[in-house]
Amino acid sequence: MAYLRSLGSENGGSKLKLTATIGSKAGPQVALSREAVATLEPLSSEPLEYKVLIHWTPTSSEPLPKFNGAFHVQWDEEYGNCRLIIEGSYEPPLGAIGKVFDAVAGQKIAHTTLATLLATLRDAIESAYQRDMRKSGG
């Protein structure tokens, strides 16, 4: 969980690169990346769950949504396994036009952005775990 703490909320948040890949699996794909300022705030650290509030705001002047939600790490009964969950909400910018865009393409972009973010967090947590195991000789 040190990785999540390292993102933290110090100095008004941390820069976070958000990436979405759009296009069909069989056809051409395009990766879109934008930076956002993210704040993460530990909410709970129960024996089988670690929960962090997450909020991000795009750094550009483009009409991009803000996100409010929570990131959960739920430990599995089997040692060494856990489940990563992110849930939250955003309001499409630009009023009615933004809502139409969201219905046509924005929701898919949001889902792929969150899937990429979860994969990045998973990789960082896994790397930290492997590093700790090597240090402890485990």
Q: Which amino acid is at 126?
A: E
Q: Per residue in 108-135, pLDDT tens?
A: 888 888 888 888 888 887 888 788 888 8
Q: What is the pLDDT of residue 24?
A: 64
Q: Per residue in 61-75, pLDDT tens?
A: 888 888 999 988 888
3-state secondary structure of 127: helix
End-to-end Cα spacing for the chain: 18
Domain ranges of the chain: 2-136
Q: What is the pLDDT of residue 96?
A: 94
Q: What is the pLDDT of residue 97?
A: 94
Q: Please tell me the pTM assigned to this model.
A: 0.73
Alpha carbon of residue 54 to chain centroid: 8
